[in-house]
Amino acid sequence: MRFKGFVIITAAALISLVGCGSIKDRKASKVEGIDYMALQKKAETFVPEIGTYGGELIMSTISDPKSFNPITATETSTSEFTQYIYEGLTRIDGVTRMPEPNLAESWEVSEDGLTWIFHIRKGVLWSDSVPFSAYDVEFSFNDLIYNEDINPNSARDILLIEGKKIEVTPLDSHRVKFVLPTPFAPFLRTVNGGVAPILPKHRYEKFVKSGTFSNALGIQTPPDSMVGTGKFLLDSYVSSQKVTFRRNPLYWEKDSAGNRLPYLDRLVYMIVSDQNTELLRFKRGEIDVLAAKGEDYPGLKKEEAKSNYTVFRLGPATGSSFLFFNQNTLTDSETGKPYVDPVKQSWFRNPRFRKAVAHALDKESMIRIVMNGLGYPQWGPMTPSEGYFYNPDVPRQEYDLEKAKKILADEGFKDSDGDGILEDADGNTVEFSFITNSGNNVRVKIAEIIRKDLETLGFKVHFQQMEFNSLVQRIDNRPFNWDAILLGLTGGPEPHFGKNVWHSSGTLHMWFPRQKEPSTEWEATIDTLFVSGVKELDKAQRKAIYDEWQRVAAEKLPLIYTVLNERTVCISNKFKNINPSPNGGVLHNIEKIYIDTEKQ
Amino acid sequence: MRDEIIRRMLISIPQLLIMSFIAFLFIDLAPGDILAKYRFDPRISSETVEKIEEKYHFDDPAIIQFGYWLMRLVRLDLGYSFSREANVSAVIAERFLNTLTLSFFSILLTWLVAVPLGIYAAVRQYSWGDRIMSVISYFGMSLPSFFLALLLMYTVYVGRDLPIISALPMGGMISSNYEQLSWPLKIVDRAAHLILPVIILTIHALAGLQRISRGNMLEELRKQYVITARAKGLPENKVIYKHALRNAINPLITLFGFSFSSLLSGAALVEIIINWPGMGSLMLAAVRAQDTFLVMGSMLMGGVMLILGNLLADILLVVADPRMRK
């Protein structure tokens, strides 16, 4: 989960100040969605040019790295940096988001899908010139990832399959055998560098032996001592100011003319905590790349022609925000009362009720008002930019107030006492609380619109904002006293990694966490789909399973999805080989990006 | 004098204890905790979270947790910061110098400018100069510092083609090519990055201090001894600068002691906007993340600075005012 905190007060002041483009422009600008499918097709057929060496690319980031330890890293603010230094057996292709060979050149798999033999790429060197071998792979899995003493360790949580380890044995220095306890379809994806980075045995074995690995590779570690096989190496880190990487001269990948990649000499991350400052610094040319917010888009677009940058719109981002109702049926053992009032349970657990709510969400207004037109409605649990498993054909509850009202009327909801608020069939006033987390301006504004929509339906809604930590605590802890919540989760291309959310026993099964038995038929269906999906090794059949999950989820609406914002990236024109892709962004091929020296 | 210092030091121990306990209680009372982000991360199992919880006694009652904290404190261990994944002492040490540099220059500039301006305004009360300064002061006092920061940043952005302004860096402490610079240029680079934040903090603090020193001076000028001094024919310069000024300075010294504690507490919002890694923004982030040990650590530092500042002010007062030496 990654939540960019921003200072609310400054954000309020910025619109008039730095927002660029007057209010008048804003009203006039009507931004249409782009054809991101076509853009994605174009990105897939992109042919890079042969580049020239030299130069630097300056980015900005909102927070400091917490460490440079890729094993104990739990946040994107760390893995953002370690991804350059350490690699995995496979990598996720920047454009297609599918696993591709990386440190493993090729692999064989047995009939039953349990035994995998990886052939290690020959000629790969660690940055201290020691050859990379299968023993480094063995070390990284057996001594680091599966080491009980190294905590926290998110790779272990992913790579324990039904609680069992994968057996990793090197056959010789260039072959390593993996034996899985049960078939595990996302296997190739889970051995990518982001989840299971390979670290040099000759460097870190001593830390493991002395039990200090959890604290090794901290932010105070001298950059020179960090040894990787990646494209760039850490050059320096100045707390709260910047992180600098330099080109790894020994990196194994070459361009089509046989030149060693990457082309750029240095990557610099300036740490800029305030988003307004970030925008000003980009416009002044101090930063080369900017992830633009919807409200800044018109201003940036207007100045694009006379400035030295290009604005790329990349279609919907990953990561979703959704409304959900408390469907908990359990009774508090201490008070003897149900956690959720049975009256409310009868509304919230009724799929027709949730369907009516979904029909009442005015997603177009959310996109227009909150996102300046740069957004897309979301209907199901996966987003288009997550690639292969995304199912575009899920039931869509389009905005239709009449239909929503009719569904409610059919279910017995009507305003029987004429006070403008609906009562259910038993005469109970439909009244509930609605919470979202504070600190995320976009989400708070969307919540305001949703509240209006719910009130239009005739509900009485008590809207409240709460600090993120407190809200999360409330969701999965006694006494589960909440009614409706708007929240978000980051997504990813592999549906199985959402199991914690979708399986009824999951801790993030937010509408009714940690169930012993699935409480509804459709939850049982989703449970079965997730259990069989992870074992299905046939790609097409596996897709069919997850297509079905997305269909059921979009029909039963435990999470009522709202809108996705558009990924908008501005980048200085001096860079070449930029291949904007809706799935991968603009920097996914950073090793091939170079600076056009003639334009300098 | 020495006994007094020792006495003050001893009193400060229970003061700090009470202060930290209250702070601890408040953090504990707030719903949610630092581990919420781990709990809400699909990639981290609940067993991992429980292990951390156990290790740091997060499930014990507040008073016991505070006891553990105190026990570590005695061994000069401020604990571990979960939001920054490092020891609290290391995190604070890193920020300490930054805040000190910035505060030192802005306080220095503020005092150098504000006190003479205040005295000038008092001596020439209701002159045009005084009136103009009043207007500016009221403006400065009512403008929130973060807004001033944004305003100045925007000015620098708009004036990006003008000679001097174009060289002014927009926030941060160093440039992106800092490592490639030679050492004299490194110093210039750091100094250039100081200009904008020092100006912002000075403008903000200037107004208040100028008003206070004006008020103090005016009060002294109305006193009997000034009338006496004038009546016996002392030159006006001597009356004002030798007699009245020395007395007007005393309350300012106490004020200076208080400003000493702000040397460390920093100005969170300005720091965030201008990207200055100081104690203020650290503290704000720590509170928001409910990073108990980090909050406690920086609170403690702030408390120590406040007590030291007051002590320093009292010593200075004794030096400046013969009446204070008994």
- In tens, the pLDDT along B308-321 reads 888 888 888 888 77
User: Which pLDDT value is given to residue A521?
Assistant: 95
- What is the per-residue pLDDT for A542? 94
Contact: A235, B39; criterion CB under 8 Å: no
pLDDT of residue A598: 66
Q: Backbone phi, then psi, for B286, in 5-degree steps?
A: -65, -40
Residues of A in Cβ contact (< 8 Å) with B41: 1, 74, 154
Q: In angstroms, what separates the C-alpha of B78 from chain A's closest C-alpha?
A: 17
How many other β-carbons are positioned within 10 Å of the β-carbon of residue A300?
Answer: 21
Cα(A203)–Cα(A216) distance, integer angstroms: 11
Q: What is the DSSP string of B273-318?
A: HHT---HHHHHHHHHHTT-HHHHHHHHHHHHHHHHHHHHHHHHHHH
Instruction: Let me know: does A157 contact A222? Beta carbons within 8 Å.
Output: no
Cβ-Cβ contacts under 8 Å, A508 against chain B? 40, 42
Query: If you search the block for the tokens 């804003």, which residue do you land on?
Result: A26
Angle at B97 between CA B95 and CA B103, to 5 degrees: 100
Residues A299 and A280: their CA atoms lie apart, in Å, by 12
Distance (Å, whole) CA A303 – CA A301? 5
Instruction: Tell me which chain A residues have a C-beta less than 8 angstroms from the C-beta of B30.
Output: 467, 470
Helix H or strand E segment including A357: helix A351-360
Check A242 against B174: CB less than 8 A apart: yes
Give yes or no for a contact between A165 and B52, defined as CB atoms under 8 angstroms apart.
Answer: no
Q: Which residues of A touch B44 (CB under 8 A)?
A: 74, 152, 154, 157
Closest CA to B119 of B223, B233, B198, B219: B219
Task: Give A521-525 contacts, CB < 8 A, sequence gap 24+.
Answer: A522/A351, A522/A552, A522/A555, A522/A556, A523/A558, A525/A552
One pLDDT digit (tens) per residue for chain B, 326 residues: 778 888 888 888 898 899 888 888 888 887 667 777 676 665 566 777 777 777 777 777 878 888 888 888 888 888 888 777 778 888 888 888 888 888 889 888 988 998 889 988 988 888 898 999 888 888 888 888 888 888 888 888 888 778 888 788 888 888 888 888 888 998 999 899 999 889 888 888 888 888 889 999 999 888 898 889 889 988 888 888 888 888 888 888 888 877 766 666 667 788 888 888 888 888 888 887 788 888 888 888 888 888 888 888 888 888 877 777 65
Q: Which residue of A has its CA nearest to B34?
A: A469
**Test mutation, B45, B158, B175, B283, chain A, max A CBs within 10 A:** B45
Angle between helix B145-158 and helix A8-17 axes, rounded to 10 deg:
40
Tokens of B321: 């005012």
Q: Which residues of A touch B273 (CB under 8 A)?
A: 7, 10, 274, 276-277
Residues of B in contact with A270 (CB under 8 A): 172, 176
Give the best residue of A157, A440, A481 to mutate against chain B (max B CB count within 10 A).
A157
DSSP structure string for A173-202:
TTEEEEE-SS--TTHHHHTBTTTS----HH
Tokens of A186: 């996302």
Distance from the first to the final alpha carbon of chain B: 10
| pLDDT at residue number A580 | 93
Cis ω on the peptide bond leading into residue A186 (within 30° of 0)?
no
Q: What is the CA radius of gyration of chain B?
A: 24
Of A151, A235, A472, the CB nearest to B51: A151
**pLDDT tens, residue order, chain A (600 aa):** 333 333 333 333 333 333 333 333 444 445 677 888 889 889 989 999 999 999 999 999 888 887 888 888 766 667 889 999 999 999 999 898 889 999 999 999 999 989 999 999 999 999 999 999 999 999 999 999 998 888 777 788 788 888 899 999 999 999 999 999 999 999 999 999 888 999 999 999 999 998 888 778 888 888 988 999 999 999 999 888 899 999 999 999 999 999 999 999 999 999 988 888 899 889 988 899 999 888 888 889 999 988 889 999 999 988 889 999 999 999 988 888 899 999 999 999 999 999 999 999 999 999 998 888 899 999 999 998 888 899 999 999 999 999 999 999 999 999 888 888 999 989 899 999 999 988 788 899 999 999 999 999 999 999 988 878 778 878 878 788 899 999 988 888 899 988 889 999 888 899 998 899 999 999 999 999 999 999 998 999 999 999 999 999 999 999 999 999 899 999 999 999 999 999 888 999 999 999 987 654
What residues are paired with A20 via a beta bridge? none
A521 min Cα distance to partner chain B (Å): 24
Residue of B nearest to A283 (CA): B157
Q: How many CA atoms lie within 13 A of A86 on its CB side?
A: 28
Question: Which of A240, A472, A499 lies closest to B277 in CB terms?
Answer: A240
Is B288 in Cβ contact with A5 (below 8 Å)?
Answer: yes
Closest CB to B273 among A153, A241, A277: A277
Tokens in use for B206?
């200037």
| Chain A contact set for B27 (CB, 8 A) | none
Query: Are B275 and A158 an interchain contact pair (Cβ–Cβ within 8 Å)?
Result: no
Q: How many residues can be counted in chain B?
A: 326
Cβ-based contacts of B152 with chain A (< 8 Å): none
- Crossing angle of helices B279-288 and B292-320, in 10° steps, is 140
DSSP A97: -
Kindly state the tokens that stand for A241: 């100011």
Are B160 and A284 an interchain contact pair (Cβ–Cβ within 8 Å)? Answer: yes
Nearest-Cα distance to chain B for A500, in Å, is 6
Burial class (CB in 10 A: 0-12, 13-18, 19+), A498: buried
Beta strands B80-81; B86-87: pairing state: antiparallel
> A20, A219, A239, A275: which to substitute to probe chain B, counting the most B Cβ within 10 Å?
A239
Buried b (16+ CB within 10 A) or exposed e, B83-122: bbbbbbbbbbebbbebbebbbebbbebbbebbbebbbbbb
Strand partners, A237: A243
Angle formed by the axes of helices A539-556 and A521-533, nearest 10°: 160
Rounded-to-10 torsion of CA A358, A364, A365, A367? 110
The partner residue sitting opposite A17, judged by closest CB among B38, B150, B179, is B150
Q: In what order do the strands lie in the sheet with A266-271?
A: A56-61, A266-271, A242-247, A232-238
How far is it, in rounded angstroms, from Cα B142 to Cα B207?
9
Mutate to test the interface with B, among A1, A246, A466 (most CBs of B within 10 A): A1
Q: pLDDT tens for residues B9-59?
A: 888 889 889 988 888 888 888 766 777 767 666 556 677 777 777 777 777
Closest CA to A197 of A225, A236, A233, A155: A155
Round to the nearest angstrom and report the end-to-end CA distance of chain A.
Answer: 39
Interface A-B: count of C-beta contacts within 8 A: 161
- Asked if A502 and A549 count as a contact pair (C-beta separation under 8 A), the reply is yes
Q: What is the pLDDT of residue A469?
A: 74
Average model confidence (pLDDT) across chain B? 83
Q: How many CA atoms lie within 13 A of B77 on its CB side?
A: 9
Length of chain A: 600
Q: What is the largest CA-CA distance in chain B?
A: 86
The answer to whether B172 contacts A272, with C-beta atoms less than 8 Å apart, is yes
CB atoms B52 and A239 under 8 Å? no
Query: Partners of A106 in the beta sheet?
Result: A119
